[in-house]
A and B are shown apart, each in its own frame.
Chain A
Amino acid sequence: MTAGIRIPFHGDPLAQAGTIALVVLVGFSIVGLTTNIFGSPTTLGGPALSVPGPGHALGTDQLGRSLMPRVVAGIHVTILLSAFAVMIAATVGSLLGLLSGYFKGLMDEIVPRLADLMFSFPAILLAIMISAILKPGTPSAIAAIVIVTLPVMIRVVRAATLTVAEQDFVIQARIAGAGLGRILALHLLPNVASVIIVQAAYSISFGMIIESGISFLGLGVQPPEASLGSLLHDGRVYLSVAPWLVFVPGIVLAITILSVNLVGDGLRRTIDPLIE
């Protein structure tokens, strides 16, 4: 066998394309973060609003900052922020979903109702509200993503837990003397893990939309830091004179979200073939 790189999702070209795109994007952002080949994202160097060219591969913004390093940093911030927030949402959501699905009863009346309540708000509106309450900045962007993705996570985990908890092996574990912690961690969690992973992938792409949405409105990541959303926010004024300031981050954002979604679809097809 050739010593080539094996791409996951064999026989699923869309998911493979998504994986490659994501690896390239993340690779760019890691290189940009650790080395200085793209230049610094915050240095005010060149002339303002210069056209893409040899000096500045993607041109410069209104303050003369090179766009290339800012986009690379933006990818990093947008993906990482969303992934971090989704990790929190997945942890909390899994725990609540597991408890709600396992105990049923009162617990199962309260938790899903709360989730429904949160679910009934338009996501962006909820996110804006949270940023407004907390004061604009990275923490409020994270909080907004957590709160918006949490209800779906709870619902999905609860539904999966309901079916798993009915199985005899859960009763068998109780007979063997297993306590609540052991049943949740060793028997229920591994059996709903696939659902959590797939839902987390979708949540990350949704989180990126939320993040860029509130950053575009000026409520998320604050200057001089850059996220793809805040780059759109900064560039929108110069759309007619320097369209690259909007198009480049816009296209990169679209590709990032699309590739995360494709990977999510691939994960779902691999892990849970019954859904198809």
Chain B
Amino acid sequence: MTPALAINDLAIDFRSRRGHVRAVDGAALTAACGEVLGVVGESGCGKSTLGMAIGRLLAPGALRVTGDILVDGRSVFALDDDALRTLRAEELGFVFQDPIGTLDPTRRIGLQVKAALPGRGTDREVEAVLFEVGLSDAGRVARSYPHELSGGMAQRVSIGMALARRPKIVIADEPTAALDASIKSQILDLLTGRCRATGAVLILLSHDLHAIRKYSDRVAVMYGGRLVETGPSSIIFTRPAHPYTAMLLRASIADVPIGGRAEPIPGAPPVLEGRCERCSFAPRCEWTEQRCTAVRPEARFIAGREVVCHRAESVIAGVRAS
């Protein structure tokens, strides 16, 4: 069976006045129907670029260098304008970080939900969508303008809009980063629940390790534009094989025992100007050896996950000396 989403060796550059900057550097990923795939990584690792690339919604300065994205077996980069519009409308749903910014301030909610529905859309369908995302006062919400809603309500509306046409893939880019801590889990419960109910793949882009661990079936850790470790979250969060994953876990406050200290990761993420011909994490890694700075690591299957590291076996075993 073809996977709902397959990303093969994708590389994306951004053109700037000072030359090209590589945002995604040979990313590979697949996702099957009905699963929640968490993508974690620090700011600037290429998460958002990857997410937008799935809908071919990249900024005008972005350039696909190599690779492809297949949605249901069809390449999104090969589609003509009409087919692309159909794909975006019928098969993809996006949920963004700032819920208020996702809604047009000059239009009533009902009209905006209608535009997300197939065909003309009726008031009853609009209310059904709003009701499904837990807005019991659907009629009033439909008549409101975005500024009259709270952030949580607005995010519920945008989840409803993203799922209104029963898309196959839903991409949520930091869906709770702009919300109060108290409603984060409500929104994530709703999002994952609705996706599971409709059988959609949920790609959850976040740097909130705790949420990813709780809600994802599988996790992909992104660093320097590559997916450095991908596998079931139960395996990856308990026995990481990539040093970056291990350091992320130690830096996460939620996982530090009481009285312990979160350990920050020293250094800064790389800015790549082209294909990285070594391990991009090597300058910040405590496991670095000679080949890490000389040879680009390729993806390998080790102990139930895919990992991009020369020293993955040692990292799992915890043997630092080489």
A residues near B (Cβ < 8 Å) are: 103-105, 167-169, 171-179, 186-187, 190-191, 193
Contact = CB atoms under 8 A, between A and B. Distances in A.
Contact-size category for B: 20 to 34
A172 B112 CA distance: 10
A198 to B, nearest CB: 16
Given A191-B105, A193-B106, 18 more contacts: A105-B60, A168-B98, A169-B101, A169-B104, A169-B112, A171-B57, A172-B102, A172-B103, A172-B116, A172-B158, A175-B89, A175-B94, A176-B116, A177-B89, A178-B115, A186-B107, A190-B106, A190-B107
Nearest to B167: A175
A177 B88 contact: yes
Contact of A104 (B60, B88, B116): B60
Nearest to B57: A171
Contacts of A169: 101-104, 112
Given A105-B60, A178-B115, A168 B85 contact: no
B96 interface: yes
B94 A172 contact: yes
B11 interface: no
Given A168-B98, A168-B101, A175 B60 contact: no
Nearest to A104: B60
Interface string B67-93: 000000000000000000110110011
Given A104-B60, A186-B107, A190-B107, A175 B102 contact: no
B161 interface: yes
A187 B89 contact: no
Interface of B: 55, 57, 60, 85-86, 88-89, 92-94, 96, 98, 101-107, 112, 115-116, 158, 161
B155 to A, nearest CB: 12
Contacts of B116: 172, 176
A171 B116 CA distance: 12
Contact of A177 (B85, B104, B105): B85
Given A172-B158, A178-B115, A191 B89 contact: no
B156 to A, nearest CB: 15
A176 to B, nearest CB: 5
Most chain A beta-carbon contacts within 10 A, residue among B57, B102, B158: B102
A137 to B, nearest CB: 41
Most chain B beta-carbon contacts within 10 A, residue among A168, A186, A190, A193: A168
A114 B89 CA distance: 37
A75 to B, nearest CB: 35
Contacts of A174: 57, 88
Nearest to A172: B102
A167 B101 contact: yes
Most chain B beta-carbon contacts within 10 A, residue among A176, A178, A186: A176
B11 to A, nearest CB: 22
A190 B111 CA distance: 14
B104 A187 contact: yes
Nearest to B161: A172
23 contacts: A103-B60, A105-B60, A168-B98, A168-B101, A169-B103, A169-B104, A171-B96, A172-B94, A172-B96, A172-B116, A172-B161, A175-B93, A175-B94, A176-B115, A176-B116, A177-B85, A177-B86, A177-B89, A186-B107, A190-B104, A191-B104, A191-B105, A191-B106
Contacts of A168: 96, 98, 101-102
Contact of A175 (B88, B101, B105, B107): B88
A110 to B, nearest CB: 15
B295 to A, nearest CB: 39
A193 B107 CA distance: 13
Q: Which 10 A-B pairs have the closest CB atoms?
A: A177-B89, A190-B106, A168-B96, A169-B104, A168-B102, A168-B101, A177-B85, A175-B88, A167-B101, A176-B116
Contacts of B85: 177, 179
Nearest to A193: B106
Nearest to A189: B106
B83 to A, nearest CB: 11
Contacts of A179: 85
A190 B104 CA distance: 9
Contact of B57 (A105, A175, A190, A191): A175
A173 to B, nearest CB: 7
Contacts of B158: 172
B187 to A, nearest CB: 16
A178 B161 CA distance: 14
A171 B88 CA distance: 11
Contacts of A187: 104, 106-107
Nearest to B92: A175
A171 B94 contact: yes
Contacts of B115: 173, 176, 178
A105 B93 CA distance: 27
B55 A175 contact: yes
A264 B94 CA distance: 40
Contacts of A173: 104, 115
A179 B105 CA distance: 19
